[in-house]
């Protein structure tokens, strides 16, 4: 069931995307770089996702994903490394985690696959930077 709030959020996202796209076309700045510029201007140190996962961005470039529920509490840290240097610090966590899980699942190691299945964690590689690949 779609709520009024959901509908409003979708409209805001579409409007913002259209404005960014228009600005990108006018200035010749790519959408990815433009989004990075906008995010870098935000005064947010913590972005809440579903209140169970907090994304914290340090000034030094470390991204901390803090995950918590009634039964588990931990954090995952993403720092600049050999395989993720090419992305901006705001996109680095997505690049690093997608690459890590692609390689981990690609090992086809029975113990790894069983562990992923046990926890209900699956990874599907959608390709490099394809907007169409992100849509279900």
**What digits encode the pLDDT tens for the residues 35-79?**
777 766 665 444 444 468 888 888 788 888 888 888 899 999 999
Residue partners of 123: CB distance under 8 A and separation at least 6: 98, 101, 102, 104, 105, 116
N- to C-terminal Cα distance for the chain?
Answer: 19
CB 34 within 8 A of CB 44: no
More confident of the two residues 102 and 48: 102
Check residue 11 and give its pLDDT. Answer: 59
Q: Lowest-pLDDT range, 11-20, 58-67, 84-93? A: 11-20
Check residue 31 and give its pLDDT. Answer: 76
CB 91 within 8 A of CB 32: yes
* Burial degree of 93 (CB within 10 A; 0-12, 13-18, 19+): buried
């Amino acid at each position: 069931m779609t709520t009024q709030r959901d509908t409003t959020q979708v409209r805001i996202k579409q409007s913002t995307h259209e404005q960014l796209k228009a600005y990108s076309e006018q200035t010749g700045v790519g959408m990815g770089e433009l989004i990075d510029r906008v995010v870098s201007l935000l005064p947010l140190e913590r972005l809440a996702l579903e209140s169970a996962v907090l994304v914290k961005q340090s000034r030094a470039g470390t991204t901390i994903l803090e995950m918590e529920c009634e039964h588990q509490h931990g954090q995952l840290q993403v720092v600049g490394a050999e395989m993720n240097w090419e992305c901006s610090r705001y996109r680095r966590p997505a690049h690093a985690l997608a690459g890590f899980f692609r390689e981990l699942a690609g090992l086809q190691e029975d113990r790894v696959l069983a562990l992923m299945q046990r926890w209900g964690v699956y990874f599907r590689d959608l390709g490099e930077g394809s907007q169409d690949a992100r849509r279900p």
